[in-house]
Amino acid sequence: MPAQATGAAGVLPDPGSGVELRGVRRQYGLVVAVKEVNLSVARFGRVAIVGPSGCGKSTILSVVSGLEDADEGSITVLGARSSRERLAKCAWMPQRDLLLPWRTVIGNVCLPLENRGVSKKEARTQVEPLFTRFGLQGFEDKRPIQLSGGMRQRASFLRTLVADKEVMLLDEPFGALDSMTRGDIQMWLLEALHTEPRTVVMVTHDVEEAVLLADEVVVMSPRPGRVIARIPSRLPAFTSRRQAVAMPEFIRIRETVHTALET
Ligand code: ADP
């Protein structure tokens, strides 16, 4: 951990458009999951989406990633419009870990590197230090089924990280972790994004996590989900999560988000 992790604002000036949604609607049969969604994430910006269950948060990640297409509206990711191009620019971590059961845990994490032509040996050398950092040391050669839910989630997060895409779409990335591990990993992620900025769109039900990690918290209405509030989250520099959550600015932003959720 460096002397100071940055607050959510990050250090880079806004160098252009990261992710843009304009008038997006997505419908499953008769269910309109989201409609008229407008969302703008600056390049290297970090947006956290919060809202009631079923309001379409995961749907937004899915249409941004290019795995699904919107029924109406436009989506651009680093300037790319087609779903195929968007898919190439995004690393998507779904809520349910999609680790391949027949591969070892390290084999799963190395997959994006191997897909880019990195040898198995080199990929392993690159990711091993991350296993230690994420408390997965000793589990490298186990199968996913032999890990706890929280461990599988960490492995899935690592795989998203090593995919090394500029846009990271994270769906409840730390939901299955106990609060201590969760706090550690949140701080680690902030630090990692400080040294290697990415454009991040994350979904979380944890308002504190949203305020801590994002530079803007987007609040959605109940289904059909629309964006009803955009709350900037720019915190003074802090060195620990505990310090951050006690800051008056943090508390003010957290309460603003709760109020938006309640209305
Ligand atoms: P959230 O992530 O906010 O909990 P989702 O995006 O998962 O919400 O879902 C929004 C709505 O769309 C829900 O009513 C859900 O049941 C519906 N939905 C999502 N994906 C599908 C699908 N593949 N088929 C049918 N309905 C879906």
Whose C-alpha lies nearest to ligand 1, atom 24?
Answer: 28
- How close is the Cα of 45 to the center of ligand 1, in Å? 26
Q: Where are the domains of the chain?
A: 14-262
Structure tokens at 134: 């994420």
Which is nearest to 44 in space by CA: 19, 61, 81?
19
Tens of pLDDT, residue by residue over 184-193, are 888 888 988 8
pLDDT (0 to 100) of residue 2: 35
- Ligand 1, atom nearest to 26 Cα: 12
At the topology level of CATH, where does 14-262 sit?
A: Rossmann fold (3.40.50)
| pLDDT band of 7, cuts 50, 70, 90 | very low
Secondary structure (3-state) at 74: strand
**Amino acid letter, residue 139:** F
| Pairing, β 72-77 against β 227-232 | unpaired
Percent of all residues in the chain with a pLDDT value above 70, rounded to a whole number: 94
Look at 165 and 13; give whichever has higher pLDDT: 165
Query: pLDDT tens across 230-260, in order?
Result: 999 999 999 899 999 999 999 999 999 999 9
Per-residue pLDDT band at 42 (split at 50, 70, 90): very high
Which residues, 6 or more positions from 259, have their beta carbon under 8 angstroms from its beta carbon? none
Q: Which residue is listed with tokens 């998507």?
A: 92
User: Both ends of the chain: CA-CA distance in Å?
Assistant: 38
Among 50, 58, 69, which residue has the most ligand 1 atoms within 8 Å of its CB, making it the best to mutate?
Answer: 58
Query: Which of the four pLDDT bands, split at 50, 70 and 90, describes residue 6?
Result: very low
Model confidence at 24: pLDDT above 90: yes
Report the candidate in 222, 226, 175, 259 with the shortest Cα–Cα distance to residue 54. Answer: 222
Range 149-157 average pLDDT = 87
Question: Residue whose CA is closest, atom 27 of ligand 1?
Answer: 28
Closest CA to 215 of 6, 50, 8: 8
Ligand 1 pocket mutation, candidates 24, 27, 30, 31, criterion most atoms within 8 A of CB: 31
Average pLDDT of the residues in 160-186: 87
pLDDT of residue 169: 96
Q: What is the mean pLDDT of the chain?
A: 90
CB-based pocket (< 6 A), ligand 1: 28, 31, 33, 51, 53-59, 223
Distance in Å, CA 94 to ligand 1 centroid = 13
Are 76 and 70 spatial neighbours (Cβ–Cβ below 8 Å)?
no
